Amino acid sequence: MRVTEGGVDLEVPAEQTEGVEASVFYNPRQELNRDLTIATLRAYREREPRAESYLDAMTASGARGVRAAADGWEVSCCDRNPKAVELAQENLERNDCAATVVRRDANAVMHESRFDVIDLDPYGTPMPFADAAFANCRHLVCVTATDTAPLCGAHFQSGIRSYSAVPRNTDYHAEMGVRILLSALARTAARYDVGVTPLLTHASSHYVRTYLELEERATAADAALEELGYLSHCEDCLYREAQSGLIAEPLETCPDCGSDRLLVAGPVWLGAVRDRAFVDAVREQVTEEFGTAEKARELLETLAAELDEPTHYDQHKLCKRWGLPANAMDAFLADLREAGYDASRTHYGGTTFKTDASVGEIRDATEANLTD
């Protein structure tokens, strides 16, 4: 079928309706991902003018590579599927775009050539491609992970195997996925004396997407590893605590309720998952030809204001648990701020929020305002 996306015309496989993936995959639900990719590439080109070459490492129909080429990047596309290579080339020609398209394994291409920007958008986990990317990228690695169940701990053993970390299935499962992924990528990069800085990261729909700026110095790798640590989570009262470092010293009992039903996750990334100024710059690059322009701007606005706390809460779930009425989110957050705590919305959902208050302090602030 023919689609128009971000100002380019694409011939793509019709969407599958019976749970069977096409041999050349195109996912219309990833349009937000691709729109934000182009906006990020634009913002990054201003940040790092030396960045010119871009590898679309799993090109499929070529949608991402064609859009990058149309935006002025020196693009290379690769795929192991001969039908994908043929379709990507046709889509480039359809839009009068020039790019190198090869039928190769992505790891082989990355090990043979260096690129300024490498984009990994596989089906499932990106980890089989992470070593080659960090060893051979100069500036920016863009990564999508669609295996959210392993990342967030719903498929526990699979998460351990894929990410060499212990994920836990908690109320903040989307954020768990974000921080397990960033931890695994930071540890992979560090093996090559490369440090990573997350410029933009979001969990949307069924995937996690992150953009990591690289610094090729051992001390930068060490600094990235210092952002790792562990999360302890009480299954009874929802207390959670972050602990920095690669050696876990788990809590034996919950400091709030005394329960011994504690989950420990990690190593996870405990630092910021985005650069606020860069997110603002990306937002400025979202233009009207993007089909998801309004949604992308709203997402980026929320991300820019989001606190750096490594977990989030859901207001409705907390209030239901406590048998309390849930007021409007803006009023709820204002109550927390009035009580002396930082608080912000999160991009994970309309009723999710972050705060530096403990779960007990959140309840106290909520109950206090109900009695006023």
Contacts of residue 344, Cβ cutoff 8 Å, sequence gap at least 6: 305, 306, 307, 333, 353, 354, 355
Q: Tell me the pLDDT of the chain averaged across its residues.
A: 94
Pick the closest to residue 97 from 116, 121, 120, 74 (CA basis): 74
Which token pair is 276? 């606020």
**Dist. CA 193–CA 218, nearest whole Å:** 4
Phi, psi of 191 (to 5 degrees): -65, -20
Is the entire prediction scored with pTM above 0.85? Answer: yes
Our CA angle for 349, 326, 312, nearest 5°, is: 35
Neighbouring C-beta atoms of residue 220, cutoff 10 Å? 18
What pLDDT was estimated at residue 368?
86
What backbone phi and psi angles, to 5 degrees, belong to 108? -65, -45
287-340 pLDDT, tens digit per residue, is 999 999 999 999 999 999 999 999 999 999 999 999 999 999 999 999 999 999
Residue 175 has pLDDT above 80, yes or no: yes
Beta strands in 194-309 (DSSP E): 195-204, 207-215, 228-234, 240-244, 262-269
CA separation for the pair 38, 35 (Å, rounded): 5
Q: Residue 35 pLDDT more than 90? A: yes
Cα gap 192→134, rounded to integer Å:
7
CB 362 within 8 A of CB 318: yes
The larger pLDDT score, comparing residue 15 to residue 112, is at 112
pLDDT given at position 20 = 40
Dihedrals phi, psi of 215, to nearest 5 degrees: -135, 120
Give the rounded percent of residues in the chain with a pLDDT score beyond 90: 88
pLDDT over 90 at 24, yes or no: no
Q: What is the mean pLDDT of residues 28-39?
A: 93
Domains and CATH numbers, the chain: 2-305 (3.40.50.150), 313-371 (3.30.56.70)
Intra-chain end-to-end CA distance of the chain, in Å: 59
Nearest one of 148, 219, 211 to 177, comparing CA atoms: 148
Tens of pLDDT, residues 94-142 = 999 999 999 999 999 999 999 999 999 999 999 999 999 999 999 999 9
